[in-house]
Chains A and B, each alone.
Chain A
Amino acid sequence: MSTVIKNEAFLAEEAATAAVVVPGRNRNRRRSPYGAVKVKETKGDRAFVIAAYVLLTIFLLVVLLPLLNIVASSLSSPRAVSSGQVLFWPVDLTFLGYQEALGNPAILRGFANSVFYTVVGTLISVAGTVAIAYPLSRQNLFGRKVLTGAVVFTMLFSGGVIPMYLVVQSLGLLDTRWSMLLPNAIGVWQVIIAMVFFRSSIPDEVYEAAQLDGASELRILWTIVLPLAKPLIAVIALMYAIMQWNSYFDALLYLRNADLQPLQLVLRGLLVLNDSGGGGDVTEQLRRRELADLLRYSTVVIATVPMLVVYPFVAKYFNKGIMVGAVKG
């Protein structure tokens, strides 16, 4: 298959070409001698594409309209919202909800903390996931099945909140940033998805070729497998980032110092304080309720927007087009 080849880039290309992803109808890789061949679209196919567009438009509207309602409500007066006047466009435009939320210094601090936890946490999580999923995806690794079983078992059976708290406490991680990054660093879902991806996307020929050339396991991982696994890494990085961004329960449990609090915790506290009405005299309760009505939607928007901004950067890794460049063919 391969003779002595020094250039690793060439090696990678060969390997990538050899990567047959799935047992498809055409196992024999027919490479057109003239490059990509343009075949005329049939009428049936055109209709199909139109159907796809229609379907996607339906998906889009079904999701978009309620979202528009939320955004519109966040910019409308509480009375307009409660009287049902707000549909998809603000009524009685007011920025008070955003002023309330963003004017709070705790919010900025929470935002900075969340960014830190998300970035660092994702790095740790992705590294940890690959570190366990890749070895376990190799067929010849002894103990693979037992270890995989042990990993999956932890998904079924968790100790619960209190035992976890005890562990975090005994490690001295309470009230530190590590308590946000470590206890849920590796997710079994992500590990399994990564394992499946490694197993199905990288055929044995690649490994054989690389080993015959004397490449070490870590070298194979670093120079061949990881570049091929960009979509996977993008996906699990996104999943971890979202998990970190959305989390607040761990923060509530393990953190005491308000300076370390992530955004979600701050937002929730802000909202609930006002929503419950709470004690005090009725007038005070009412004023707080009014604030709560404003805040309910604006906090949702504030919490969601950063994740929306991040998405396009990650999405390019699992949208076709970029991949064509990485795979020769």
Chain B
Amino acid sequence: MKHSTIRGVAAVGAVVAMTLAMAACSPSADDDNGKLVAFGPQGDNGTLKENSFTKEVEKKFDIDFDWQTTTYDGSVAGEKRQVSLASGDYPDAYFLVPWVDAFSRSEILKYGQQGVLVPLEDLIDEYAPNLKERFDEKPDWKDSVTAPDGHIYAITQWSECYHCSFPSKLWMNTTWLKNLGLEQPTTTEELRTVLRAFKDDDPNGNGVADEVPLSGSATQPIVNYLMGAFTYAPYTAPGTPPPMVMEDGEVKMAATSDEWRAGLEYINSLTSEGLLDAAAFTQNGDALKALGDNAGGEILGSAVDLHPYDFVTADSPDGRDKNYDAVAPLAGPDGTQLATWRSPVNPLGMFALTNKSTEDERVKAIKLIDYLVTDDGDKRGAMGPEGEAWVPAEAGDVALDPELEPTFKPLTYDETSNAAWRSMAQYWDSLEYRNSQVVPEDVYSPDGYERRLLIATQEYDPYQPDKSILFPAEKLWPDADTSAELADLQTNIANYVTQAQAEFVTGQRDINDDGAWQAYLSDLDGLGLSQYLQMEQDLYDALK
């Protein structure tokens, strides 16, 4: 009968299709004819294939690259990488960029243990002497890339951005302070006085009470800066754990302590007086910048941000971008004075080799990484050729850190040039390297911006917390069995802490009400806080 034939054909067709799909699942042996299949993001300034640094490296190390690229769009780049892994269609090597998409620690561990990522430590020992040296110089680096089983499955980029290590800075309008005859505040109460003056005493002199004393944006937590006067506030961002600290080797939640509550009370008092802009928790960077750039005259008194050009445009016609200076962390009622510190250790993995690569390819790739951590390789790979992207320092040039010998001067960034791998090659961005670049001495010009940030950061340095209270979230390795549950707990708790914090500070929840605070604590318990802390404790203990 015809219909059974049709049915039969359809069935066979389906089976054939499924078999094909199945066959695609098992990764085939290396059949890329000696080409090094490399995965990495590609910009619009030209292809990685045509990039002149690629060509140099191909010649130098006898590599023939076959590029699998993504765009710099982080969310989709991540999907592409994961899909390529899932389908068994993955490359020989990964050269990733941290702020686009890179291997998370749970991925590194998972793929390493499954055998997808191959261990690198022997290769490093034998073929990467410079990298070994660097590892010795920065033991934190080596520690962070070594998995609990002793293997190194992926290498992270080492970036010691000095000013990034204190991400929550308060930038205050110095001109306004001068106009009102005030000094930069040093304590929490002095801040209140200054903010009140900003609000009431018309520092911009236009006769209208349009000043916004203190603001921020949803992506730059104001709480971190102000909380430092009460207790230590670790750096938090989407995807990072909720604030946790160490106390005598025990992991504790920072956001449930009485000191934390006192801090929230203080911040809430600023908000209810109109001194802290409640919109700071909801507005985006554009809105904050609109405050800073306000066409009708300066209205922003101060803001918490990584750097001022986030909220005010560089080289403003009325020069207002020069008005903002950093205020050192404030001292609280009991003298606590801490600055939020961010570790230079990046938990992600950028360079990795897969089991699809041949021994020969692995050696060449490791040698390439080794080259990138030398001064020459770093400059050439990350910036570009000498004379085009940078020139050697001349006599009379001053390094960013004046105490260091200046080494090179970066030239104006040309976005059309395709001569360097840029972020893809920045594996050795150490403090000494960064601070020895030549930077103009005029701190208030856009060119001298790095120097301005350095000087601002130096004010925060003395208030670095003692290392013993820092919870090393970036160094922990997740446990494959518990990582799924940990992810759930962490997301729930971090979400709740962020939300409750914003609600307490803006007055949607009453911080002064003991009942409300108790409800908050018991909610956290309900979300599995004690279980979460125990899991983190176990991971921390496993580090030793």
Residues of A at under 8 Å CB distance from B? 78-79, 82-85, 104, 106, 161-163, 165-167, 169-171, 174, 248-249, 252-253, 256, 258, 265-266, 268-270, 272-274, 276, 278-284, 286-289, 291
Contact = CB atoms under 8 A, between A and B. Distances in A.
B82 to A, nearest CB: 8
A283 B450 contact: yes
B79 interface: yes
A288 B422 CA distance: 13
Given A84-B293, A272-B72, A104 B44 contact: yes
A249 B76 contact: yes
Contacts of A174: 89
A281 B450 contact: yes
B410 A281 contact: yes
A278 B99 contact: yes
Contacts of B413: 280, 283-284, 287-288
B169 interface: no
Contacts of A171: 20
B446 A165 contact: no
Nearest to B289: A82
Given A161-B83, A170-B21, A286-B449, A79 B313 contact: yes
Contact of B426 (A161, A279, A283): A279
Contacts of A84: 290, 293-295
B141 to A, nearest CB: 17
Contact of A276 (B24, B72, B293, B450): B72
B286 interface: yes
A281 to B, nearest CB: 6
A-side binding surface: helix, strand, loop or mixed?
A: helix
A278 B164 CA distance: 13
A161 B78 CA distance: 12
Contacts of A276: 72, 74, 99-100
A165 B69 contact: no
Contact of A282 (B20, B98, B382, B453): B453
Given A252-B77, A269-B42, 20 more contacts: A79-B293, A82-B290, A106-B44, A165-B83, A166-B24, A166-B25, A249-B79, A258-B42, A268-B73, A269-B73, A273-B72, A276-B74, A276-B100, A278-B97, A278-B423, A279-B426, A281-B434, A281-B450, A282-B450, A286-B309
B93 to A, nearest CB: 15
Contacts of A273: 43-44, 71-72
Nearest to B68: A256
22 contacts: A82-B313, A83-B293, A167-B17, A171-B20, A248-B76, A252-B71, A252-B76, A252-B80, A269-B43, A269-B44, A272-B72, A274-B415, A276-B72, A276-B74, A280-B422, A281-B437, A282-B450, A283-B446, A283-B450, A284-B413, A286-B446, A287-B413
B447 interface: yes
A288 B44 CA distance: 13
B87 interface: yes
B314 interface: yes
B80 to A, nearest CB: 6
B73 A83 contact: no
A146 B252 CA distance: 59
A34 to B, nearest CB: 56
Contacts of B67: 256
A272 B73 contact: yes
A141 to B, nearest CB: 14
Nearest to B164: A282
Q: Which of B97, B309, B413 has the most CB of A within 10 A?
A: B413
Nearest to A296: B286
A37 to B, nearest CB: 55
A75 to B, nearest CB: 17
B305 to A, nearest CB: 13
B307 interface: yes
A262 to B, nearest CB: 12
Nearest to B77: A252
B445 to A, nearest CB: 10
B71 A272 contact: yes
Interface string B277-312: 000000000100110011100000000000101000
Closest 3 CB pairs of A and B: A269-B71, A279-B423, A83-B293
B47 interface: yes
B21 A283 contact: no
B224 interface: no
Nearest to B382: A280
Interface in B73-123: 73-74, 76-77, 79-80, 83, 86-87, 89, 97-100
A287 B73 CA distance: 19
Contacts of A283: 410, 413, 446-447, 449-450
Contacts of B97: 278-279
Contacts of A258: 42, 47, 69
A78 B453 CA distance: 23
Interface in B57-77: 67-74, 76-77
B66 to A, nearest CB: 9
A196 B343 CA distance: 61
A167 B453 contact: no
Contacts of A163: 21
A82 B286 contact: yes
Nearest to B100: A276
A166 B87 contact: yes
B4 interface: no
A171 B309 CA distance: 50
B316 interface: yes
B74 A272 contact: yes
Interface in B431-458: 434, 437, 446-447, 449-450, 453
B208 interface: no
Contacts of A83: 290, 293-295, 313
A281 B307 CA distance: 13
B294 A282 contact: no
Given A252-B80, A279-B426, A288-B415, A270 B290 contact: no
A258 B70 CA distance: 10
B29 interface: no
B87 A282 contact: no
Contacts of A170: 20-21, 23-24
A171 B20 CA distance: 8
A14 to B, nearest CB: 35
